[in-house]
Amino acid sequence: MRASELLSCDVVDASGAPLGPVRDVRITADGFRAAGIVVGGGALAAVAHAWGYPEGRARGPALLTTLFRHAIRAARFVPAEDVARWGPGTVELAVEAAALRPLAHELA
């Protein structure tokens, strides 16, 4: 499955509860496999990820930085080993949503 196809997938945890769409795909340093995915957040979180705000690749006016920081609080990082099935259409996790770490902890 291509990374571009993952970006349109919905994610459900091990109990079948929806977590939201895949917002980003993290790739290993060698560039050949997925290290994990970023899940959740609203429409503003999607813009924040597209522009690189969560990783600090983009800097902007204080208002945008504050809005994007708030928007990505709901985003979670899912390591590749916690994914039970990679689609198509839906990514199924092998863990419950409560076991996932916030994206902010992964980036720190």
Listed by start position, the domains of the chain span 3-107
Name the CATH topology of 3-107. Answer: SH3 type barrels. (2.30.30)
The pLDDT assigned to 13 comes to: 95
* Inter-residue long-range contacts of 90-95, CB under 8 Å, 24+ positions, other chains counted: 90/9, 90/10, 90/11, 90/12, 91/6, 91/9, 91/10, 91/11, 91/12, 91/22, 91/37, 92/11, 92/12, 92/14, 93/11, 93/12, 93/13, 93/14, 93/19, 94/14, 95/13, 95/14
CB contact at 8 A, 78 and 36? yes
pLDDT in tens, the chain (108 residues): 788 888 879 999 999 999 989 988 888 888 788 889 989 877 787 788 778 777 777 777 888 888 887 777 778 889 999 999 998 899 999 999 999 988 766 665
